[in-house]
Structure 1
Amino acid sequence: MTDVRTLVTGRGLVESPRWHGDRLCFSDWSAGEVVSVDLAGRTEVIARVASLPLCTARLPDGRLVIVSSADGLLLRREPDGSLVTHTDLGRPGWNDIVVDGRGNAYVNRAGFDPTAGEAFRPGSIHLAAPDGSVRQVADDIAFPNGMAVTADDSTLIVADSYRHSLVAFAIDADGGLSDRRVWADLADGVPDGICVDAQNAVWYADVPHRRCVRVGEGGTVLQTVPVDRGCFACTLGGPDGTTLFVVAAEWRGMTEPEMVTPGTGRVLTLEVAVPGAGRP
């Protein structure tokens, strides 16, 4: 049995784990907080944003950017802790974000609001460029969730939860996306947050199956880590890059007043063989 340890407990809908320096940041959507935690489990709230979803990424210079979905903004956390507008996305309704090594921020959105019971429409990916411009760079992602950029900044990988797949794009010189392909067919897998490792494998978190799974390109399952609650996202970090951080909670459903059971959100850790690479 894999040795899964608990780093943080007593949280709500936890998402968007990001390792930076010697600490992990994660979002508690229920509380509207971005939280920093060290490996001893000491936590600090570093930002408060009333947004659902509430996802984050790091710019190449290390500053944190936060998707304020309700306002249609990317916020940037300055060294003094203040939040300023990084990019105006033009409308509300955004989900996950990843930033490549050139500062290109890829932000995705569903085509409908599942929490309001709206009819399905496929989602899209937009590029918020360093010059402040915003444009759509991909469409027809049934339900876009976690995203990752490979270490060489050449490929964007996107979790399409509804199509049970990971979709890859080549990142062009201008930040646009091309060469769309299915990177991995996950069979019954329902990918949420993802990360890439140094062997170009992807870890994905799976809420309904309560697990994290490592897959190779094409979909070969390399490792499965079962958990006792829904896994929303995962990332690799720690001193050697070999700590897998998993954010998990007891899932109730999209249309429930509380999508997870209050207080069940946890940050879990386990050691794996291959270190992280790329972003996040």
Structure 2
Amino acid sequence: MIEAIGPVRALVGEAPVWDGGRLLWVDVPGGHVHRTDLASGDTETTALGPPVSFVWPTPGGTLAARGLDLLLDGRTVATVPAGPGEDRCNDGVVDGEGRVWIGTMGSPGAARLYRLDPSGGGPTPVLDGLTVSNGIRFSPDGTRLYLVDTPTGRVDVLDVDPSGGLSGRRVFAEIPGPGKPDGIAVDDDGRVWVAVWNGGAVLAHTPDGVLSERVDLPVAYPTSCAFVGKRLLVTTASRPLGDQAGPLDGALLEVVR
């Protein structure tokens, strides 16, 4: 069973993450950060201005990406040093060591993955040759980084050393059409759940990359997903459908399992 949580409908909902009692998520072109109570559906909304691509709770406050800037509680604290053809941040995550990982989007091959270390300095590029960075998440033990470059139609995985160095990029899973992989979540068992943009589904893969479960959704454009305990939450988009959007397009959904 699929249920909508609350009345908010986003143009492009994205980046769900749990923050001590509420779910944080964003509406990218709307420029909004939402904080939703999962029990009541009540949502507090902060307007940061578009495009807000991801949000993450940290001990120092709420981190958000707007354009190429990183904001902490609304104050710019860093800017991604974009190169030619690199448009904006698109997805990101904070790891267990407090390092911020930021993926950008842009012209084919112009986007990059950056790392911002808590020791200081600005965002440093650690991987290039990307187009639309998405699905940046870690395995439960922090030794593997999963990364989606959406136009490739696959999820890649890289090894992570204790200093944050990356190596051994390889294909983790090919995502069959229709649709393309967007945001992902990794559950406590290490399964990787992939939201399929324009594919109307979330696909689960074992830690070995084997497809183990498919959850079909009553929307065409799931964008990302997150777990709160065993609860699977999915953000969605309405903007691609325009006037044809249905009642659940753009909603925050829960897959009741």
Tell me the alpha carbon deviations over residues 111-154 of structure 1, each in whole angstroms, 9 at most, x when there is no partner. 32xxxxxxx33532011111133211012334321211122222
User: For residues 227 and 36 of structure 2, what CA distance do their matches in structure 1 show?
Assistant: 14
User: For residues 179 and 23 of structure 1, what CA distance do their matches in structure 2 show?
Assistant: 36
Sequence identity, in percent? 26
Q: Is the 8 A contact 1:186 1:219 kept in 2?
A: no
Name 1:213's counterpart in structure 2.
203
Decide which of 158, 182, 189 is 1:192's aligned counterpart: 182
Q: Is the 8 A contact 2:4 2:254 kept in 1?
A: yes
How far does residue 242 in structure 1 lie from its aligned partner after superposition?
0.6
User: For residues 246 and 174 of structure 2, what CA distance do their matches in structure 1 show?
Assistant: 33
* Map 1:80-229 → 2, pairs under 5 A: 83-91=74-82, 93-112=88-107, 120-130=108-118, 131-188=120-177, 190-229=180-219
| Structure 1 residues 110 and 52: alpha-carbon distance in aligned structure 2, compared to 1, 3 A threshold | same
Number of equivalenced pairs: 247
Name 1:5's counterpart in structure 2.
3
User: For residues 145 and 259 of structure 1, what CA distance do their matches in structure 2 show?
Assistant: 27
User: For residues 115 and 66 of structure 2, what CA distance do their matches in structure 1 show?
Assistant: 16
Match for 1:181: what amino acid?
Answer: R
2:71 maps to 1:75: yes
User: For residues 197 and 22 of structure 1, what CA distance do their matches in structure 2 show?
Assistant: 18
How far does residue 62 in structure 1 lie from its aligned partner after superposition?
6.7
Q: Is the 8 A contact 2:30 2:50 kept in 1?
A: no
Q: TM-score, normalised by structure 1?
A: 0.80
Q: CA RMSD in A?
A: 2.3
| Structure 1 residues 222 and 103: alpha-carbon distance in aligned structure 2, compared to 1, 3 A threshold | same
Name 2:26's counterpart in structure 1.
27
How far does residue 88 in structure 1 lie from its aligned partner after superposition?
2.4
User: For residues 104 and 260 of structure 1, what CA distance do their matches in structure 2 show?
Assistant: 41
| Structure 1 residues 28 and 260: alpha-carbon distance in aligned structure 2, compared to 1, 3 A threshold | farther
Return 5+ residue gaps in structure 2 as ranges.
Answer: none
User: For residues 51 and 243 of structure 2, what CA distance do their matches in structure 1 show?
Assistant: 11
Name 2:254's counterpart in structure 1.
269
Q: Is the 8 A contact 1:252 1:259 kept in 2?
A: no
* Map 1:232-271 → 2, pairs under 5 A: 232-237=223-228, 241-250=229-238, 252=240, 261=245, 264-271=249-256
Q: TM-score, normalised by structure 2?
A: 0.87
How far does residue 73 in structure 1 lie from its aligned partner after superposition?
1.4
Name 2:44's counterpart in structure 1.
44
Runs ≥4 residues deviating over 6 A: none
